[in-house]
Structures are given as structure tokens and as C-alpha cells.
């Protein structure tokens, strides 16, 4: 009997407790003002929030990486554009430098042509180098160029002489490669400047030397030269030298470097190369013979 009474009382008690619990929950929800939907929403957010946070840890770096890659591509394009602009600017600068160098050359030539010399000057471009020393220019016999004429650079420094000539071109042989010496003057002393094999320097010999020659002294063509007019600057003495007995020798560095020439100036010297070559302008010899009847003068050309 006792067991049956206890079981009969347990079921009503459980039902009573469930009802009381539901009532308390309803009262709590109403008291908070959220309602059942609000409670469900809050619970859902509580569950979903950690998932969203974990997703953001994964998604945000990927998005940042994509954005960074886009920025890198943009920077590369801008870099390429800047490089193209830099190359164009460098090309323009080189063109300006070339024009400036050409202007300098023209100014030098103009000053050279107005130096007061009566010799005709022909400006020519160096268009070829057939060997290690010779130069080919774009002016020839049709321009008044003749074999043996002196050749200067645009500074007025002696380069050499015309070696061979065609109608439209000529070959220049620099003095550092020639076989003949150049008669020069250093101060008041006269000497001979000789080329040296495989060297850009020349050997200076002064016979009957009286005084030493010092480094950096200026060497010019002498009036005794038969190949060049007097007073052309040739080069400078490299080392001091003193006479040994009556001979003085030293080295001379030419002012002009044939390897760097782009323009040259050819002098029409002698003024009449044909006459100079044939000797037709040699001084006339005059002899006078007297006969008893009259005087007669006979002139003979030598």
C-alpha cells in the first residue's frame, strides 16, 4: 500500500514541477522583454559568433593577399611606364649632347677659318679607317684636295697629310705613321720629329743643340719644313732633355689623336700643288753675256 501511494504522489509532483518551471521561464522571458524569438536569436548568435570569428581569421588574410597582388601588378605597370619615360628622356639627352658636340665643332671650325690665314681650307668628314692608322675622308680631287696637302683637326693641330686622292675621297696618313720626319721648332731650336713603330709618341732629335728642352714645351712646324707651313702646333715635349755632345733627343706627344677624329680640315698648301710638285716655280737663273759689238741678256729657266 505504501509503495502504491508513493508512486501515485510522484507523478503529480513531477507534473507540478514542470508546470512551475515553464511558468518561471515564461515570466523570465517576459521580464527581460526579448520574447521567445529574441531568446532564440540570442542563442543562435552565441553559437554562430565563434564560427564567424574563425571564418574571419581565414577569409581576411586571403582578401588582403588578393588586394596586395593587385597592388603589385599596378606598381609593376607604373614601373614599366616610368622606365619607358626614362629611356625616352635619356635618348633626348643623348640627341642634345650630339647636337651640342656638333655645335662646338662648328664653332671651332669657324674660328679656325677666321684665324687670318690666306690658305683655303676644306672641311671633310672621316668616313672610314682602312687600316690601323689611315683615315678616309669624303672630299677628293673634285673638291680641290691634292696629294701632300696638310691635314689639321678642328682645333688647328697637325694630324698629317693627304696620301692618296680619288675624285670623291682621299686617304689621310697621320704623321705618327709616316716614314718622313717633320721639321719642327722648339723655342729657338730646330729639330726633326720622327715617328716610332707602334707608338703614339714621336722621337725628337735636335742637332747642334745648345740648351736643354723642358717638358710641356710646345712643338710647332718649322719654316724649314718642305711638307707643312710654318707655325702649325704639333705637340708637347714629354720629358726634360739636355744636349749630349751636340745631340739632344726626347719624346713628344702629338696634340691630335687620329683615333678620335670625326672632322678634319685640309689646307690648300702649297697654294699650287702642281707647280710645287714639278718645280716650275723655281727661281729663274739669269746670265749675261757681252759681245764686242753689243750687250745681250739671255734668261734661262732651271
What per-residue confidence (pLDDT) applies to 164? 95
Classify residue 101: in a domain, yes or no: no
CATH label of the domain that carries residue 180: 2.40.10.340
The CA distance from 105 to 119, in Å, is 20
| Domain final residue, candidates 19, 43, 60 | 60
Same domain membership, residue 261 and residue 135: yes
Q: pLDDT tens across 64-93, in order?
A: 666 777 787 788 888 888 988 898 888 888
Query: What is the pLDDT averaged over residues 155-162?
Result: 94
Same domain membership, residue 218 and residue 139: yes
Give the pTM: 0.55
Range of the domain at 32: 2-60
| Domain final residue, candidates 60, 79, 105 | 60
Helix (H, G, I), strand (E, B) or coil at 83: helix
Q: pLDDT tens across 163-200, in order?
A: 999 999 999 999 998 878 899 999 989 999 999 888 88
Classify residue 98: in a domain, yes or no: no
Quickly tell me which residue has 643623348 as its cell: 94
What per-residue confidence (pLDDT) applies to 102? 65
Q: pLDDT tens across 159-170, in order?
A: 999 999 999 999
Nearest one of 126, 117, 119, 124 to 143, comparing CA atoms: 124
The grid cell for 135 is 683615315
Query: What is the pLDDT averaged over residues 222-249?
Result: 92
Same domain membership, residue 129 and residue 26: no
Same domain membership, residue 160 and residue 43: no
Tally of CB atoms within 10 A around 180: 13
What's the whole-number average pLDDT of the chain?
A: 77
Same domain membership, residue 248 and residue 150: yes
Count of structural domains, the chain: 2
The grid cell for 79 is 614601373
Same domain membership, residue 257 and residue 156: yes
User: What percent of the chain has pLDDT above 90?
Assistant: 39
Cβ–Cβ < 8 Å for 136, 129: yes
Query: What is the pLDDT averaged over residues 251-260?
Result: 93
Amino acid at each position: 500500500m505504501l509503495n502504491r501511494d508513493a508512486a501515485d504522489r510522484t507523478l503529480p509532483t513531477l507534473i507540478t514541477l514542470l508546470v512551475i518551471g515553464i511558468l518561471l521561464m515564461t515570466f523570465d522571458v517576459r521580464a527581460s522583454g526579448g520574447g521567445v524569438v529574441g531568446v532564440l536569436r540570442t542563442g543562435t548568435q552565441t553559437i554562430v559568433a565563434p564560427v564567424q570569428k574563425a571564418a574571419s581569421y581565414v577569409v581576411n588574410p586571403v582578401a588582403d593577399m588578393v588586394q596586395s597582388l593587385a597592388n603589385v601588378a599596378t606598381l609593376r605597370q607604373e614601373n614599366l611606364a616610368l622606365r619607358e619615360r626614362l629611356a625616352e628622356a635619356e635618348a633626348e639627352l643623348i640627341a642634345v649632347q650630339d647636337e651640342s658636340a656638333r655645335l662646338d665643332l662648328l664653332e671651332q671650325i669657324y674660328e679656325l677659318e677666321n684665324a687670318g690665314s690666306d690658305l683655303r681650307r676644306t672641311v671633310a668628314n672621316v668616313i672610314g679607317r682602312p687600316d690601323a692608322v689611315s683615315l678616309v675622308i669624303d672630299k677628293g680631287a673634285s673638291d680641290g684636295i691634292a696629294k701632300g696637302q696638310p691635314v689639321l683637326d678642328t682645333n688647328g693641330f697637325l694630324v698629317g697629310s693627304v696620301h692618296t686622292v680619288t675624285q670623291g675621297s682621299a686617304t689621310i696618313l697621320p704623321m705618327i705613321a709616316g716614314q718622313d720626319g717633320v721639321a719642327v721648332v722648339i723655342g729657338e731650336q730646330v729639330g726633326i720629329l720622327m715617328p716610332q713603330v707602334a707608338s703614339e709618341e714621336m722621337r725628337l732629335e735636335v742637332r747642334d743643340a745648345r740648351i736643354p728642352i723642358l717638358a710641356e714645351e710646345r712643338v710647332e712646324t718649322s719654316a724649314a719644313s718642305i711638307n707643312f707651313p710654318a707655325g702649325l702646333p704639333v705637340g708637347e715635349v714629354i720629358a726634360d732633355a739636355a744636349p749630349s755632345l751636340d745631340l739632344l733627343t726626347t719624346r713628344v706627344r702629338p696634340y691630335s689623336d687620329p683615333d678620335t677624329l670625326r672632322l678634319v680640315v685640309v689646307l690648300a698648301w702649297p697654294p699650287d700643288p702642281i707647280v710645287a710638285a714639278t718645280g716650275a716655280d723655281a727661281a729663274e737663273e739669269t746670265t749675261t753675256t757681252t759681245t764686242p759689238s753689243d750687250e745681250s741678256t739671255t734668261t734661262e729657266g732651271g
